[in-house]
Amino acid sequence: MGVAPRSFYELLRQRRAVRLYTGERVPREALGRIARTIRRAPTAGYSQGQRALVVDDPELLQAIADTQDDEVSRRWFGGVAAHILVLTRERDYHDRYNQPDKLAATGGVEVVWPVPFWHVDAGASLMLVLLAALEEGLAAGVYGVPVEEDARWRELLGIPDDLTIVAGATIGVPAPDPDRERRSSVFSQRRRADDEMVRWNRWSS
């Protein structure tokens, strides 16, 4: 593994999507440390609906790569050491917010969710996975499972219906990628200015 960055901001500066890997195996101890970071993610009402599925079995890794229809994705998935799928169980949130302490604050009925916090918490979990991979001296890339592929992934990986696949992260040792600039949107889209993304006190005057 590589040398870990020394501070959080150094870690952030190193974060980028990596889609080409050497194929080297990564010790399960490291993968376990990465996956367990989801237990430290924020979670509404301590519902703890986030889940992580670590896939490092070589036959399953090959099977996942074989599901890809295009050469670029097959090459990307073909060299990874592992996938970490971030899942969420929505039912945990409804169960938690129907417990007496939560119902007492909302007049006896479940809170009206302003957004699906089971997805919000899963996103926070995903970011911890990405940063933990860097901390281990590894690289990561994020992908989604297309709706039309959901059933195939569930069957392959034994994912029950009560868990939603939110996103996956490829984990591995990065390889030199001469085509990165052509493939990555980072190089075709401008980075938005600070004042387009961060404002103070009021969004508009």
Q: Which of 131, 199, 201, 115 is nearest to 171 (CA)?
A: 131
Q: What is the pLDDT of residues 120-138, one digit of tens each?
A: 999 999 999 999 999 999 9
**pTM (2 d.p.):** 0.89
Strand positions, DSSP E, the chain: 50-55, 82-88, 139-143, 164-172
CB 84 within 8 A of CB 53: yes
pLDDT tens-digit series, residues 77-124: 999 999 999 999 999 999 999 999 999 999 999 999 999 999 999 999
